[in-house]
């Protein structure tokens, strides 16, 4: 692991008494605290990270604010887009001062929590005013439709989880073709995570390598890496975090890993070079 490596997407939770959850939440993991996350990072060798807020606590980001205080200056965070619709400017400024630099749009149809077109536009406009980035979680089955509202956004846009690419179609997958085009614009970034979820063959996920190489070769300066700990939405026990990380040396050489783990996150999230 190179010095100053960054895990650019992980989640934190906490006990329900301190951090109340929304009714009907299906993936609360109170044991996945910031302390547990930092222990995972120490084990793997990450010294920087980006906390991504979950839908568990809604627009109340107390768990994120507390986690940032405990993690220290080498950590940033990404809010939910609902914060920009439901919270005051003072609250949003509090998040910014603590290290929040983006807002995530959860577009999974199975959760039915995608914002209305009007609210989506309001959020994107607010993100531009704040100088934040948009973070998009594409739908599992219709990723292209998920990306449609962001195609003309000028703010930085991070597309999560290898854009849910179809590894069978590979470079011929319309989603892959479109994402490669977007990466050429200069303001789009791709999160290289969840390869094991898009794999059709299973461990060690060799069928993911060609798609990942297509993205890296298209825009090595805008690739980001993430573990996506603690792996919510699983019907089976998720893979070991070390196994997940060891996919990276199989898809990127040493110079590319330096960019993906260190240089690109520093540029995207404002860490020291």
For residue 66, indicate whether it is catalytic. no
| Pair 205, 247: CB distance under 8 Å | yes
Question: Other CB atoms closer than 10 Å to residue 58's CB: what's the count?
Answer: 17
Burial class (CB in 10 A: 0-12, 13-18, 19+), 248: middle
| Pair 243, 203: CB distance under 8 Å | yes
- Of 7, 28, 139, 228, catalytic: 228
Question: Other CB atoms closer than 10 Å to residue 23's CB: what's the count?
Answer: 6
Contacts of residue 12, Cβ cutoff 8 Å, sequence gap at least 6: 32, 33, 34, 37, 51, 63, 64, 67
Q: Are strands 157-159 and 133-137 parallel, antiparallel or unpaired?
A: parallel
Output phi, psi for 152, to 5 deg.
Answer: -110, 15
Cα-based distances in Å from 213 to 124, 167, 256: 30, 12, 11
Map tokens 């627009």 to a residue: 59
Output phi, psi for 187, to 5 deg.
Answer: -110, 0
Tally: H helices and E strands in the chain: 13, 8
Please tell me the distance from the alpha carbon of residue 3 to that of residue 62, in angstroms, as a whole number. 30
Please tell me the distance from the alpha carbon of residue 205 to that of residue 224, in angstroms, as a whole number. 19
Q: Which residues are catalytic?
A: 228
């Amino acid at each position: 692991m190179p010095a100053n490596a960054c895990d650019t997407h992980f989640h934190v939770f906490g006990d329900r008494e301190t951090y109340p959850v929304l009714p009907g939440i299906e993936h609360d993991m109170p044991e996945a605290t910031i302390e547990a996350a930092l222990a995972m990072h120490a084990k793997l060798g990450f010294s920087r990270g980006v906390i991504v807020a979950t839908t568990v606590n809604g627009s109340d980001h107390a768990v994120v604010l507390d986690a940032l205080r405990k993690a220290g200056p080498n950590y940033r965070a990404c809010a939910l887009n609902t914060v920009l619709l439901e919270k005051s400017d003072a609250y949003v400024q509090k998040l910014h001062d603590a290290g929040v630099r983006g807002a995530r749009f959860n577009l999974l149809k199975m959760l039915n929590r995608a914002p209305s077109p009007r609210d989506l536009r309001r959020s994107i406009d607010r993100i531009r005013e704040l100088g934040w980035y948009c973070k998009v979680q594409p739908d599992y089955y219709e990723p292209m439709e998920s990306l449609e509202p962001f195609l003309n956004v000028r703010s930085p846009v991070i597309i999560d989880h290898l854009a849910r690419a179809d590894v069978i179609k590979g470079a011929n997958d319309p989603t892959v073709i479109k994402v490669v085009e977007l990466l050429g614009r200069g303001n789009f970034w791709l999160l290289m995570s969840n390869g094991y979820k898009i794999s059709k063959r299973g461990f060690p996920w060799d069928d993911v390598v060609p798609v990942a190489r297509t993205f890296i070769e298209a825009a090595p300066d805008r690739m980001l890496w993430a573990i996506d700990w603690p792996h919510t939405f699983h019907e089976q026990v998720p893979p070991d975090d070390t196994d997940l990380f060891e996919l990276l040396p199989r898809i990127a050489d040493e110079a590319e890993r330096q960019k993906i783990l260190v240089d690109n996150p520093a540029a995207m999230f404002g860490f020291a070079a």
